[in-house]
Amino acid sequence: MNSLRKTDLIMLVFGVALFIVLQGLITGRILNSFWQLNLIILCINIILSVSLNLINGYTGQFSLGHAGFMAIGAYVSVVLTTNFHWPFLIALLAGGAGAGFLGFLIGLPTLRLYGDYLAIATLGLGEIIRITIMNIEYVGGAAGFMNIPHNTTFTWAFFLMLATLFIIKNFVNSTHGRACIAIRENEIAAEAMGINTTKYKVMAFTIGAGFAGVAGGLFAHCFYIINPTSFTFMQSFNYLIMVVLGGLGSITGSIAGAFAVTFVSAGLASWPEFRMIIYALMLILLMFYRPQGLFGYIEITDFKIFSRFRGGRKS
């Protein structure tokens, strides 16, 4: 069997085993509802950080608008489940498609911008999305959207997270992903190698926005009510912290970053100032001493132990 397929299989077996253990802990009531919710939030945060990493880390297009796309996914899916009684999964995918489509429309003109300009423009777009939602009476305006069915279970969150990881990992390891990475490394050289840089920037942005939409849908169905204030740019900064901490350009890093931020936030929920001061110092110290993040460009599958499992060299 092909060594790439073997790695995928090992990761799948590992993922399912992890799921069985965690689900066992939940069913056996060893994890209380607080930690249950945090496990679900962790899965959602992983989807968000990995998808943001595709844009910011792999493609090198610094976006701060992720919360806006999350909001689109959330609102589209809650309208479909609550008002139209669509099946949950279809509604989530529709939310993702909506967010992805908007990402495409926005990305096309915006991705001509570079670096910090793009950062501020995407931040602004995220806010425009949020403010627009706030002014739509149909979805409850500033008061929020109510009576959302509580559909998001750990199972949904976990397996959608696995699917996200599978798809984004495969994307970055394909010729399309290499095109995105080439853009990050040197846009002029990428173009000279026959890569349509606009197309791939928009593609990464669209895919990233789409997954943010799915995550937004999962997030919304954790609660009875959602509100535009859950999707401010401070949320986008949260995901940025995860990505920067883990490493711009490492999926493993984004998972670790999401893990750290989710549980630090949960642990320090009663001391919000400290939580933010810790993040602030962490960002500054990271940029001083380890700007590539904890994992840099390295993946867990790059470690020796995995090549032993596969019985071959890393490809």
Partner 1 sequence: MDFMQQLVQQLINGISLGSIYALIALGYTMIYGIIKLINFAHGDIYMVGAYIGYFSITMAHLSIVPSLIISMVVTGLLGMLIERLAYKPLRHAPRISVLITAIGVSFFLEYTSMYFVSPTPRTFPAVFDNIAYHFGPFIINGQQMLIFGITFILMVALTYIVQRTKIGKAMRAVSFDTETAQLMGIDANRIISITFGIGSALAAAGGVLVGVYYNSIDPLMGIMPGLKAFVAAVLGGIGILPGAMVGGLILGVIEALVSGFVSSTFRDAAAFAILILVLLFKPSGIFGKNTREKV
Partner 2 sequence: MTQLLKAEGVSKSFGGLKAVSDFDFYIDNGSLVGLIGPNGAGKTTAFNLITGVYQPTKGNIEFDSNSIVGLKPYQITQRGIARTFQNIRLFSELSVLDNVKIAYHSHVKYGLVEAVLRLGRYFGEEKRVEERSMELLRIFKLDDKAQEIAKNLPYGAQRRLEIARALAAQPKLLLLDEPAAGMNPQETQELMEMIRWIRKEFGLTILLIEHDMSLVMGICERIYVLEYGIIIANGTPGEIKKNPEVIRAYLGGEA
Candidate residues 104, 263, 297, 309; the one interacting with partner 2 per rule CB under 8 A: 297
Instruction: Assign residue 97 a region (left: φ > 0; alpha: ψ between -120 and 50; beta: otherwise).
Output: alpha
Looking at the Cβ atoms of 19 and 297, the one nearer to partner 2 is 297
Q: Which residues bind partner 1 (CB under 8 A)?
A: 62, 109-110, 112-113, 115-117, 119-121, 123-125, 127-128, 131-132, 134-135, 142, 188, 237, 240, 244, 272-274, 276-277, 279-284, 286-288, 291
5 binds, among partner 1, partner 2, none (CB under 5 to 8 A by kind): partner 2
With CB under 8 A as the rule, give the number of residues binding partner 2.
Answer: 30
Looking at the Cβ atoms of 178 and 275, the one nearer to partner 2 is 178
Cα 36 from chain centre: 20
Looking at the Cβ atoms of 134 and 204, the one nearer to partner 2 is 204
At 234, phi and psi to the nearest 5?
-60, -35
Looking at the Cβ atoms of 68 and 210, the one nearer to partner 2 is 210
312 binds, among partner 1, partner 2, none (CB under 5 to 8 A by kind): none
Compose the 139-178 pattern: x for residues touching partner 2 by CB under 8 A, - for all others: ----------------------------x--xx--xxxxx
Nearest distance, CB of residue 296 and partner 2, angstroms: 9
Looking at the Cβ atoms of 34 and 274, the one nearer to partner 1 is 274
- From the CB of residue 24, how many other CB atoms can be counted at a distance below 10 Å? 11
Nearest distance, CB of residue 110 and partner 2, angstroms: 19
297 binds, among partner 1, partner 2, none (CB under 5 to 8 A by kind): partner 2
Q: What sign for the dihedral angle of Cα 141, 69, 251, 63?
A: negative
Nearest distance, CB of residue 195 and partner 2, angstroms: 5
Q: Which of residues 177-236 bind partner 2 (CB under 8 A)?
A: 177-179, 181-182, 185-186, 188-197, 203
Nearest distance, CB of residue 93 and partner 2, angstroms: 15
Nearest distance, CB of residue 233 and partner 1, angstroms: 9
Looking at the Cβ atoms of 27 and 196, the one nearer to partner 2 is 196
- DSSP letters along the chain, please? --HHHHHHHHHHHHHHHHHHHHHHHHHTT-S-HHHHHHHHHHHHHHHHHHHHHIIIIIS------HHHHHHHHHHHHHIIIIIT---HHHHHHHHHHHHHHHHHHHHHHHTTS-HHHHHHHHHHHHHHHHHHHHT-GGGTGGG-B--------HHHHHHHHHHHHHHHHHHHTSHHHHHHHHHHH-HHHHHHTT--HHHHHHHHHHHHHHHHHHHHHHHHTTSS-B-GGGGSHHHHHHHHHHHHHH-TT-HHHHHHHHHHHHHHHHHTTT-HHHHHHHHHHHHHHHHHH-TTTTTTT--GGGSHHHHHHHTS---
| Binding stretches for partner 2 (CB under 8 A) | 2, 4-5, 8, 167, 170-171, 174-179, 181-182, 185-186, 188-197, 203, 297, 315
